[in-house]
């Protein structure tokens, strides 16, 4: 943990101090003109005047110092030369040497920095900033003992404070052979004279890790007695309540964390996600979890990280209308964000609210004209509502916008094939499928649908079998593809092989599909297995309910 004020930008202070020293002396007009230009921000003019000044008066240390400050962003090597010259001319000037120490630190020369700081500490033992800077350099060089010694010196001057305590804690924890109990015993002693909510909570966390709940709780309560809104202490208390299954207390305590506006929403979202992972826990404490979601939403009403998490929670608990409302609010709040609008549409798609999906797809196309993803969402809504012509029109517009994008063309031709078949236009449907297969001859979804529709019409069963066989060889456990292939074999009279394929499909989800169950029953019936066929006919009826 870095100390506050690590190498503070002291250049302006140093400049003013140097200026006050210089101006008590009689200065040339060149120097005065250079100083005036510097103060007015005319850096090039200032450099010109000051360089002329050191040419005529090479002993003017202040002129060199000003040139150093002017060259720090122009020429580092030249800046260093000017600063060293100022130190050489006035070796007793505190600001010159301190500026050189800072300069060495910024240019990663820590040994030179430490040498100068230690020299200054010997001469100016009451300059607090020197100790802070020295401690940080020691820390960066992993000189733990020297850093700790410097902290002790700071403490003697300034007294105990939280920053020193935390820095010492980190240093001691990193030492080889560090003993956690010994370190935290020391921190407990320190805490007696330096009480802060953060230190109390750190001690509470230590005791909680060591399974000393009572001691941990005492420190958390002490932290809250100093700051009743200190969220880390509330979080510690909530952990203890959760471990001990005191869920009434747990939800009350964790609500303080969720309502803290300072805590990053990503942290809260991840915590709430983990809290809602267990369906049984959600069912048992649904009212309490709802309250946390409401608090999160009220604390961060415009947040786009928490909203998807809460939307998923509401959707998963059967409240799609709340889920949709949350995402709609985000979409309206950030109308320029495509992601927010599209998340809303995706939710409507999964909720199967086709009227709303059509309505908002149309509305969002006004925000994002011609957007392919939104057009496709609307096409899906049209098709699910039975407006096949409108769906086809949307997909045709996608084709027109993307005449060379084979990925888009493949998916669009496949969808158009399904829609034309649904419309009863098999000729155009098969034309679309052929266009898709020309792009990818092994596109399983297209092969399967093309083959299945052919066999339903009793057309070109050999071609249908050939296409369907490719899908089964590619995905041998896909029940839909197995069903298509087995049904084609049945139509071609090969019921024995069809039965074997249906038995395999039953193992991979086919028993949940009424159409596959009916097809299997038909094959069994054709093989004379009437009783078994009756069982699967009944299962098909039950699956439809």
Q: Determine how many CB atoms are found less than 10 A away from the CB of residue 524.
A: 22
The whole-angstrom distance between residue 38's C-alpha and the CA centroid of its chain comes to 46
Is the pLDDT assigned to residue 379 strictly greater than 80? yes
- 422 and 383 in one domain? yes
In-domain check, residue 396: yes
What is the pLDDT at residue 23?
A: 43
What is the pLDDT at residue 384?
A: 96
In-domain check, residue 404: yes
Q: With beta carbons less than 8 A apart as the criterion, state whether 334 and 304 touch.
A: yes
In-domain check, residue 304: yes
- 468 and 420 in one domain? no
What is the pLDDT at residue 515?
A: 95
What is the pLDDT at residue 526?
A: 96
What's the CA gap between 334 and 78, in Å, rounded? 51
What's the CA gap between 272 and 274, in Å, rounded? 5
- 373 and 344 in one domain? no
Q: If you average pLDDT over residues 440-457, what whole number do you get?
A: 96
- 323 and 277 in one domain? yes
In-domain check, residue 342: yes
Give the domain CATH number at 496. Answer: 1.25.40.10
What's the CA gap between 200 and 184, in Å, rounded? 11
Is the pLDDT assigned to residue 105 strictly greater than 90? no
From 325, 351, 377, give the residue that closes a domain: 351
What's the CA gap between 349 and 354, in Å, rounded? 7
Q: With beta carbons less than 8 A apart as the criterion, state whether 33 and 197 touch.
A: no
From 441, 475, 496, give the residue that closes a domain: 441
From 301, 320, 351, give the residue that closes a domain: 351
What's the CA gap between 68 and 98, in Å, rounded? 13
Give the domain CATH number at 275. Answer: 1.25.40
In-domain check, residue 477: yes
What is the pLDDT at residue 15?
A: 42
288-338: per-residue pLDDT in tens? Answer: 999 999 999 899 987 888 988 999 999 989 999 999 998 998 899 899 999
What is the pLDDT at residue 131?
A: 66
Is residue 300 classed as helix, strand or coil in its secondary structure? coil
Please choose, from the candidates 482, 413, 473, the residue with its C-alpha nearest in 3D space to the C-alpha of residue 442. Answer: 473
pTM as predicted: 0.64
Helices (H), 402-443: 406-423, 426-439
- 536 and 475 in one domain? yes
Cα dist. 261→264, 267, 299, 301, 305 in Å? 8, 12, 6, 11, 14
DSSP summary character for residue 147:
H
In-domain check, residue 535: yes
Query: Average pLDDT of the chain?
Result: 89
In-domain check, residue 493: yes
For 206-237, b/e burial (b = at least 16 CB within 10 A) is bbbeeeebebbbebbebbbeeeeebbbbbbbb
170-218: per-residue pLDDT in tens? Answer: 888 888 888 999 999 999 999 999 999 999 999 999 999 999 999 999 9
In-domain check, residue 96: no
**Domain carrying residue 477:** 462-545
When divided into structural domains, the chain yields a total of 3
């Amino acid at each position: 943990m870095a100390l506050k004020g690590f190498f503070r930008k002291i250049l302006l202070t140093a400049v003013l101090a140097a200026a006050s020293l210089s101006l008590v002396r009689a200065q040339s007009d060149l120097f005065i003109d250079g100083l005036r230009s510097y103060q007015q921000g005319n850096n090039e003019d200032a450099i010109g005047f000051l360089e002329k000044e050191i040419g005529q008066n090479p002993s003017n240390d202040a002129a060199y110092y000003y040139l150093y400050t002017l060259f720090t962003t122009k020429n580092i090597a030249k800046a260093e030369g000017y600063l060293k010259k100022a130190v050489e001319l006035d070796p007793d000037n505190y600001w010159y040497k301190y500026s050189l120490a800072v300069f060495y630190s910024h240019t990663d020369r820590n040994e030179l920095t430490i040498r100068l700081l230690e020299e200054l500490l010997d001469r100016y033992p009451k300059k607090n900033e020197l100790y802070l800077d020295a401690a940080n350099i020691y820390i960066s060089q992993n000189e733990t003992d020297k850093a700790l010694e410097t902290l002790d010196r700071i403490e003697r001057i300034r007294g105990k404070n939280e920053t020193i305590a935390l820095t010492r804690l980190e240093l001691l924890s990193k030492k080889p052979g560090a003993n956690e109990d010994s370190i935290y015993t020391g921190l407990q002693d320190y805490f007696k004279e330096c009480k802060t909510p953060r230190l109390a909570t750190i001690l509470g966390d230590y005791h909680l890790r060591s399974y000393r709940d009572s001691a941990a709780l005492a420190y958390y309560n002490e932290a809250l007695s100093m700051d009743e809104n200190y969220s880390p202490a509330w979080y510690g208390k909530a952990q203890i309540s959760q471990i001990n299954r005191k869920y009434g207390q747990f939800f009350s305590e964790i609500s303080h964390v969720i309502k803290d506006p300072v805590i990053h929403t990503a942290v809260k979202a991840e915590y709430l996600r983990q809290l809602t992972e267990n369906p049984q826990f959600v069912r048992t404490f649904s009212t309490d979890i709802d309250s946390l979601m409401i608090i999160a939403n009220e604390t961060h009403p415009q947040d786009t990280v928490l909203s998807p998490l809460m939307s998923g929670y509401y959707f998963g608990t059967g409240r799609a209308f709340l889920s949709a409302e949350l995402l709609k609010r985000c979409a309206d709040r950030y109308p320029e964000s495509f992601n927010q609008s599209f998340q809303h549409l995706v939710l409507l798609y999964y909720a199967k609210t086709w009227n709303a999906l059509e309505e908002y797809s149309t509305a969002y196309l006004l925000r994002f004209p011609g957007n392919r993803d939104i057009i496709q969402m609307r096409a899906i809504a049209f098709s699910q509502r039975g407006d096949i012509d409108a769906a086809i029109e949307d997909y045709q517009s996608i084709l027109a916008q993307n005449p060379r994008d084979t990925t888009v063309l493949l998916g669009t031709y496949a969808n158009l094939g399904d829609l034309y078949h649904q419309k009863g236009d098999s000729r155009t449907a098969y034309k679309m499928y052929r266009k898709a297969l020309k792009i990818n001859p092994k596109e399983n979804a297209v092969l399967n649908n093309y083959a299945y529709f052919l066999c339903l019409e009793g057309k070109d069963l050999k071609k249908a079998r050939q296409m369907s066989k490719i899908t089964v060889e590619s995905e041998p456990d896909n029940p839909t593809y197995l069903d298509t292939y087995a049904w084609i074999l049945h139509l071609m009279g090969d019921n024995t092989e069809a039965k074997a394929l249906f038995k395999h499909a039953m193992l991979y989800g086919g028993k949940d599909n009424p159409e596959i169950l009916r097809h299997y029953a038909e094959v069994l019936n054709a093989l004379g297995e009437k009783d078994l066929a009756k069982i699967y006919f009944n299962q098909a009826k039950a699956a439809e309910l």
